[in-house]
C-alpha cells in the first residue's frame, strides 16, 4: 500500500501510465474497525484501484470536545489497511484539504434532508461533511464511492449532492457491520465502558422490536414509546427515534406511506453518542 499526504502526490500516483482502471474510494475518519474494512473489501471486489482516506474533518464537529476525544490510532489503521489490500492511503493534514486562502464554500443546500435527526442535534455537521466529501471527491476523482448504511442520513445527503453537481461518481451503500450483541460498530465504541458496551446491544434490539410491531401495523407513536422505554431501561438516553421515508427523510406513521421506510435513532450512552438505523419497509424483496 502506498501512502500519500499531499493532494498533488495523490494525483501523481493516480496518473502514472498503466494505472488506469475503475477507482473506488472509501473516505473515513480513521480508528478503523470491521465496518470500515467491509467497505474496503467491497471496493476491492468491485473496482481496480481502492483509495482510502483518513481525515478527521474539524468542520463537521459541532462539539469541540468530541473532536478532541476522537481516537486517532494511525499506526494501527495503516496496518489494517495494508493487510486488507487497499492500494493507496490518503492521509492529508487540515491545510491540504483547506489550504489557507481557499475559502470556497459549496452552494449545495441539503434542505429538508438535513433538517431532522443528526441535522437537528448536530447543527452545521452536514454542511461540514458535504464540504469535505466534495473536496475529497475533487482530489481523488473516484468512479465509485463506498459509504456505510450506518450513517444513513449522511449517505442520503451525499447522494443528493452528487445529483446536484452531476458528479460522475456512483454512491454505493454498504450494510452496517455489528458487534455480536448487535451494537453497530463505531470508532466511538471504544470510549464505552465494558458494561455499557455490552448493554448497548439494546439499541439494535429496539430497532428489531420496532420493525416487527410496525409491520404488524401498530401505531408509530406506540412503537417509538416502546423502543425509547427499552433503551432507557438499559440506562441510556434517546435523542431521537424517528421513522422516516428512506428517500425524503420525512416522518411517516404508516407502513404503506412510502416504499422505503427506515427507522433511525441516536442514543447517549455514558458520554458517547451512538447512532443506528434499520430499513423497516423496502421495495426490494431481498
Name the segment binding ligand AMP (CB under 6 A); options: 30-38, 202-210, 211-219, 231-239. 30-38
The three grid cell numbers given for residue 229, joined into one nine-digit string = 422505554
| CA torsion through residues 76, 80, 81, 83, sign | positive
Distances (CA, A) of 173 to 103, 152, 155: 31, 9, 8
Q: According to the binding rule CB under 6 A, does residue 202 interact with ligand AMP? A: no
Q: According to the binding rule CB under 6 A, does residue 51 interact with ligand AMP? A: no
Name the segment binding ligand AMP (CB under 6 A); options: 163-171, 178-186, 250-258, 265-273. 178-186
Helical spans, DSSP H, in the chain: 7-14, 34-46, 64-69, 74-84, 94-97, 117-121, 125-140, 152-165, 194-199, 201-215, 220-233
Residue of 9, 36, 125, 164 marked catalytic: 36
Active site annotation includes 87 = no
- Binding ligand AMP (rule: CB under 6 A), the pick from 4, 14, 29, 203 is 29
Q: Which is nearer to ligand AMP, 7 or 27 (CB)?
A: 27
CB 249 within 8 A of CB 156: yes
Backbone angles phi, psi at 181, to 5 degrees: -85, 5
Q: According to the binding rule CB under 6 A, does residue 150 interact with ligand AMP? A: yes
- What is the nearest approach in angstroms of ligand AMP to the Cβ of residue 152? 8
Q: According to the binding rule CB under 6 A, does residue 174 interact with ligand AMP? A: yes
Spatial strand order of the sheet with 49-54 comes to 2-4, 88-90, 49-54, 23-28, 144-148, 170-174
Q: According to the binding rule CB under 6 A, does residue 36 interact with ligand AMP? A: yes
What is the DSSP secondary-structure string of 73-111? -HHHHHHHHHHHT-SEEE---HHHHS-TT---------G
- Enumerate residues 95-114 that contact ligand AMP by CB under 6 A: none
**Cβ neighbours of 48 (radius 10 Å):** 14
Q: According to the binding rule CB under 6 A, does residue 197 interact with ligand AMP? A: no
Q: According to the binding rule CB under 6 A, does residue 249 interact with ligand AMP? A: no
Q: According to the binding rule CB under 6 A, does residue 44 interact with ligand AMP? A: no
- What is the nearest approach in angstroms of ligand AMP to the Cβ of residue 17? 31
Q: According to the binding rule CB under 6 A, does residue 151 interact with ligand AMP? A: yes
Q: According to the binding rule CB under 6 A, does residue 186 interact with ligand AMP? A: yes
Name the segment binding ligand AMP (CB under 6 A); options: 29-37, 79-87, 116-124, 253-261. 29-37
Torsion angle of C-alpha atoms 3, 165, 114, 101, degrees rounded to 10: 60
Q: According to the binding rule CB under 6 A, does residue 147 interact with ligand AMP? A: yes
Instruction: Check residue 156 and report its DSSP letter.
Output: H
Q: Which is nearer to ligand AMP, 110 or 148 (CB)?
A: 148
Neighbour-count burial for 159-189, b at 16+ CB within 10 Å, e otherwise: bbbbeeeebebebbebebbbbeebbbbbbbb
Name the segment binding ligand AMP (CB under 6 A); options: 33-41, 74-82, 204-212, 225-233. 33-41
Residues with catalytic roles: 36
Footprint of ligand AMP (CB under 6 A): 28-29, 35-36, 38-39, 147-148, 150-151, 174, 176-177, 184-187
Amino acid at each position: 500500500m502506498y501512502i500519500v499526504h499531499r493532494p498533488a502526490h495523490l494525483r501523481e500516483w493516480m496518473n502514472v501510465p498503466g494505472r488506469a482502471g475503475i477507482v473506488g474510494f472509501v473516505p473515513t475518519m480513521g480508528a478503523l474497525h470491521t465496518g470500515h474494512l467491509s467497505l474496503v473489501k467491497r471496493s476491492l471486489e468491485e473496482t481496480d484501484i481502492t483509495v482510502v482516506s483518513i481525515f478527521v474533518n474539524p468542520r463537521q464537529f459541532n462539539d469541540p470536545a468530541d473532536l478532541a476525544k476522537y481516537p486517532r490510532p494511525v499506526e494501527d489503521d495503516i496496518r489494517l489497511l495494508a493487510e486488507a489490500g487497499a492500494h493507496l492511503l490518503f492521509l492529508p493534514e487540515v491545510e491540504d484539504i483547506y489550504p489557507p486562502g481557499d475559502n470556497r464554500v459549496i452552494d449545495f443546500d441539503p434542505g429538508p434532508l438535513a433538517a431532522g435527526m443528526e441535522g437537528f442535534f448536530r447543527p452545521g455537521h452536514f454542511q461540514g461533511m458535504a464540504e469535505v466529501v466534495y473536496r475529497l471527491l475533487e482530489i481523488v476523482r473516484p468512479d465509485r464511492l463506498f459509504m456505510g448504511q450506518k450513517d444513513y442520513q449522511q449517505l442520503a445527503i451525499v447522494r443528493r449532492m452528487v445529483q446536484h453537481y452531476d458528479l460522475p461518481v456512483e454512491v454505493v451503500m454498504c450494510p452496517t457491520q455489528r458487534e455480536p450483541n448487535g451494537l453497530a460498530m463505531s470508532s466511538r465504541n471504544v470510549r464505552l465502558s465494558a458494561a455499557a458496551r455490552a448493554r448497548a446491544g439494546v439499541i439494535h434490539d429496539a430497532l428489531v422490536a420496532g420493525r416487527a410491531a410496525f409491520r404488524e401495523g401498530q401505531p408509530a407513536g406506540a412503537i417509538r414509546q416502546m423502543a425509547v422505554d427499552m433503551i432507557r431501561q438499559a440506562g441510556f438516553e434517546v435523542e431521537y427515534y424517528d421513522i422516516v421515508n428512506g428517500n425524503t427523510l420525512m416522518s411517516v406513521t404508516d407502513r404503506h406511506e412510502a416504499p422505503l421506510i427506515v427507522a433511525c435513532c441516536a442514543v447517549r450512552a455514558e458520554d458517547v453518542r451512538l447512532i443506528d438505523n434499520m430499513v423497516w419497509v423496502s421495495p426490494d424483496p431481498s
